[in-house]
Structure 1
Amino acid sequence: MARSAAAKKVAKAASAGGSGRSFRPRRDILFPAAMLLVVLLGVVLILVARNERSSNAPAGPPRLGDHWHSLYAIYDCDDFILDLYPNDVDDQSGIHTHGDGLIHIHPFHTGVTGQFATVGAFMREIEFELTDSRIELPDGTILDESGEGCASPDPDSDDPDVAEPGAELRIMRWETLQAEKALAFTEDLRDVRFLDDGQIFVFAFVHPSIENADVPRPDDAFLRAYLNLPPEDQPLIDGSTEEGPVLDDGSDSEPVEGDLPATSGPAETSEPAEG
């Protein structure tokens, strides 16, 4: 009887082992599923962020890789200020000047491309303080609405020698070298944009009675010569100590008083439809 009972136990154990239901381990799928979910969520977030960056990216030129040049000058009442101010600090944005009377526009990052490529970005880079009524130059010179030197005959006086002082700040922008008319901006001056290669900007303090057409356009010969140079003959955009372009004869040339800017006569102007 003992032998028979033992044999039954052995047979029962063998039968249970062969079925595989009691001893096969269960595979836990919760952890792999959770990891897969995390990966999918990360991919979705990356795609959403990329789309948001694309939709918020500055629209239009200048873009990264562009390299433009514009002429700028400051007109104070009846004459141009001939002092030219190079960057005194390392160029951070790519919209700066070498002290050559030109604005070099080659954005380093998207923060100064498209609608963010503005006069305000340039002024910030060269450490000018600009508002809609005031400019403070790096040497401490302040130009404002007090209009010292700007005067116009007082319309309420019979004496033509009685002058009415005062000034307002306008930014005059000639869209191209060929443009005869300039747009005049008097508000939101820091938002005035750079729109193309070869534009001309004048920061003009003039008496309010002065017509836009009477604000003179600076001599653009220097800019014209510069734009005709091959890129390898233009000043370096970083770390350059040059203050003027290499001209066709291969000699270095620095702007001298009287060369830039000079009056080339008044140009008709029109008020801007937009800033």
Structure 2
Amino acid sequence: MATSSSSSSAKKVAKLAQRGKGKKVRFQGGTLFPAVVVGVLVVGLLVIVYARQSRPDPGSFPPQVGDHWHAAFGIYACDTWLPKIVGAQEETVVDSQGNESLVNDLYAATGVHSHDDGVIHYHPFSTRSVGKRARLGVYLDVYGIELSEDRLALPEEQGGDVFDVDDYRCNGEEVDIKVVAWDNFADTGAGKNFITDLKDVPLTRDGMVFVIAVVPPGTDVDMPPWAIDLPTLGAVDGGNVPVPSTVPGDTTATPDTTDTTAPVTTGG
């Protein structure tokens, strides 16, 4: 009897296996679930493509080629203003074919320089220095000035000073290197302190002020004393610095709310 029962069970298993051949496995709920997944993936892909295509070109913002912007600039170490950056970088050379070109390739590419006056003359020659590419580092690179959170180094033609936070001291105190920026030379506030990505501090409008400061932590830094003369200094190459409706000492000026992406700042 046991043998007959075992044989019968084996036959049933074989029949069930035969029935299952060729049948497709279906998701629970039919084809709805995989269709939804595919739809979500397609929509997500389309959103990503649209976002990338509609994102503004960083070079589409001001300043643009042909603009003449000016910003006061100074370097402050401990309690002293360093000499103004010298050299207009307008020296040219003539090749064997009689073609004249600028010696400083970075100035030729960007149109950013100075006139021994403590002013950044920012008049882009190409898209390399326009829009959100307009940053403090463009000017510094033209003059070979090294800048990071740990080190500021000037080339020999600019005095050759080197400031390293590991060993430089102000009256025995450790120092930080930071950039302080004001939106306008007539601002009366303390400015905005940038403590990272110092060369990426943006130039967002005409008439700004920038100071590279090597000072003990928490030290307040003022504008360079020549910043107030920016409208006159900027006129040397035909640019016009906009003069606000208020003057230093008057706190009623309407703040500019232009939104920009900037490096990390601290209070102030």
- Which TM-score band (shorter chain)? 0.5 to 0.7
Q: CA separation in 1, counterparts of 2:87 and 2:152?
A: 16
Q: In the alignment, which residue of structure 1 is the partner of 2:25?
A: none
Answer yes or no: is 1:226 the counterpart of 2:233: yes
Give the alignment partner of residue 131 of structure 2, picking from 114, 117, 120.
Answer: 114
Q: In the alignment, which residue of structure 2 is the partner of 1:173?
A: 181
* Root mean square deviation of aligned Cα: 2.9
1:204-263 deviations in whole A, cap 9, x for unaligned?
00111x34xx21221223313234x4xxxx2379xxxxxxxxxxxxxxxxxxxxxxxxxx
Q: In the alignment, which residue of structure 1 is the partner of 2:87?
A: 86
Are the equivalent residues in 2 in contact too, given 1:74–1:80 (CA < 8 A)?
yes
Structure 1 gap segments, 5+ residues each: 1-50, 152-162, 238-263, 266-271
Give, in angstroms, the shift of residue 78 of structure 1.
1.1
Q: For residue 85 of structure 1, give the secondary structure of its aligned residue in structure 2.
A: coil
Q: Which runs of 4+ in 1 moved over 6 A?
A: none
Q: In the alignment, which residue of structure 1 is the partner of 2:222?
A: 216
How many aligned residue pairs are there?
172
Answer yes or no: is 1:145 the counterpart of 2:165: yes
Q: CA separation in 1, counterparts of 2:182 and 2:56?
A: 31
Q: CA separation in 2, counterparts of 1:99 and 1:178?
A: 22
Matches within 5 A, 1:43-122: 56=57, 58-88=59-89, 89-90=103-104, 91-92=107-108, 93-122=110-139
Shift in CA distance, 180/148, structure 1 to aligned 2, threshold 3 Å: same
Give, in angstroms, the shift of residue 138 of structure 1.
1.4
Q: CA separation in 2, counterparts of 1:166 and 1:81?
A: 19
Structure 2 gap segments, 5+ residues each: 1-51, 90-102, 240-247, 250-259, 264-268
Q: CA separation in 1, counterparts of 2:56 and 2:196?
A: 28
Percent identity of paired positions between Structure 1 and Structure 2 = 30
Q: CA separation in 2, counterparts of 1:135 and 1:62?
A: 27
Shift in CA distance, 64/129, structure 1 to aligned 2, threshold 3 Å: same
Shift in CA distance, 274/116, structure 1 to aligned 2, threshold 3 Å: closer
Are the equivalent residues in 2 in contact too, given 1:77–1:147 (CA < 8 A)?
no
Shift in CA distance, 185/147, structure 1 to aligned 2, threshold 3 Å: farther
Are the equivalent residues in 2 in contact too, given 1:58–1:115 (CA < 8 A)?
yes
Amino acid at match of 1:194: L
Q: In the alignment, which residue of structure 1 is the partner of 2:4?
A: none
Q: For residue 140 of structure 2, give the secondary structure of its aligned residue in structure 1.
A: helix
Q: For residue 123 of structure 1, give the secondary structure of its aligned residue in structure 2.
A: helix
Q: CA separation in 2, counterparts of 1:273 and 1:106?
A: 21
The structure with the largest alpha-carbon Rg is 1
Give, in angstroms, the shift of residue 274 of structure 1.
3.8
Q: In the alignment, which residue of structure 1 is the partner of 2:11?
A: none
1:36-64 deviations in whole A, cap 9, x for unaligned?
xxxxxxxxxxxxxxx97x95451311111
Q: For residue 62 of structure 2, give the secondary structure of its aligned residue in structure 1.
A: coil
Q: CA separation in 2, counterparts of 1:198 and 1:66?
A: 13
1:92-126 deviations in whole A, cap 9, x for unaligned?
21111122211010111111111111111111111
Question: What is the TM-score normalised by the length of structure 2?
Answer: 0.57
Answer yes or no: is 1:235 the counterpart of 2:237: yes
Answer yes or no: is 1:198 the counterpart of 2:207: yes
Shift in CA distance, 147/203, structure 1 to aligned 2, threshold 3 Å: farther
Answer yes or no: is 1:124 the counterpart of 2:141: yes
Q: CA separation in 1, counterparts of 2:176 and 2:165?
A: 5
Q: In the alignment, which residue of structure 2 is the partner of 1:256?
A: none
